[in-house]
Structures are given as C-alpha cells and as structure tokens.
Amino acid sequence: ETGVTQTPRHLVMGMTNKKSLKCEQHLGHNAMYWYKQSAKKPLELMFVYNFKEQTENNSVPSRFSPECPNSSHLFLHLHTLQPEDSALYLCASSQSNQPQHFGDGTRLSIL
C-alpha cells in the first residue's frame, strides 16, 4: 500500500475515444503530480498542483487535460490521443518540501 492509488491499472483506447485516469492519495499531502514514463526516456513531469491550483504545465498537448477537485484527487482527462502517447502514467503526491510518493501507474495503450 503506497498511499497513492491509481485507476485503472491498464487502459486500451482508440484515438477517437475519451477516457480519464484517476489518482487518489490518502497521505494528507498538498501537492499532486502527473508524470509520463516512456521506454528509454527520462520521466517527464506533465502537471503539478499545489493546494488544488495548477502551478506547472510542462508544454503538455491540450489533448491531456488535468483536473484537481480537491487535495486528495487528481484526474487526467484524455481525448483524441496519438500512438506516441502510449506510456505509463504515474501520479505522485508530496507535502511541502518532502519527497514525492508515487502510485503504481496506469499503463496506457493507444490503438
């Protein structure tokens, strides 16, 4: 039990579909993050939320849309994705300047 839960663990979708990834943290942290992990590439930070406010958007295409309704929940809404978007999407949370805790990720495959 990592304290950060991601659902679903696996997702296969077509390029025209709309789906959402969910992340929930039970650690009382005030910051949440989305990362993309592709084969043979460093982890890429996508979005950062502090106290529900987005503080970082690393030039992520608009087909990825984050939502943070409260400090415990983070969503990543997906629409009209491309094959190169197939990857492991990791969620993390942290408290102030403490290290991040990661979920087990959602393995996304785009057909």
List residues binding other proteins (CB under 8 A): 2, 4, 6, 31, 33, 40-43, 45, 48, 50, 55-56, 90, 92, 94, 96-105
Between residues 80 and 95, which has the closer beta carbon with respect to other proteins? 95
Residue 64 CB, nearest approach to other proteins (Å): 18
User: Residue with structure tokens 């709309």?
Assistant: 18
Of 35 and 64, which has the nearer Cβ to other proteins? 35
Q: Which residue has tokens 């529900």?
A: 52
DSSP reduced 3-state for 84 = helix
Cβ closer to other proteins: 5 or 17? 5
Q: How many CB atoms lie within 10 A of CB 78?
A: 20
Contact 35, 92 (CB under 8 A): yes
Q: What is the closest distance, in whole angstroms, from the C-beta atom of residue 99 to other proteins in the complex? A: 5
Least spacing, CB of residue 88 vs other proteins, in Å: 9
Per-residue CA distances from 36 to 46, 59, 64, 96 (Å): 7, 13, 11, 22
Choice between 16 and 59, CB closer to other proteins: 59
How many Cβ atoms from other residues are within 10 Å of residue 16's Cβ? 8
Nearest approach, Cβ of 80 to other proteins (angstroms)?
A: 27
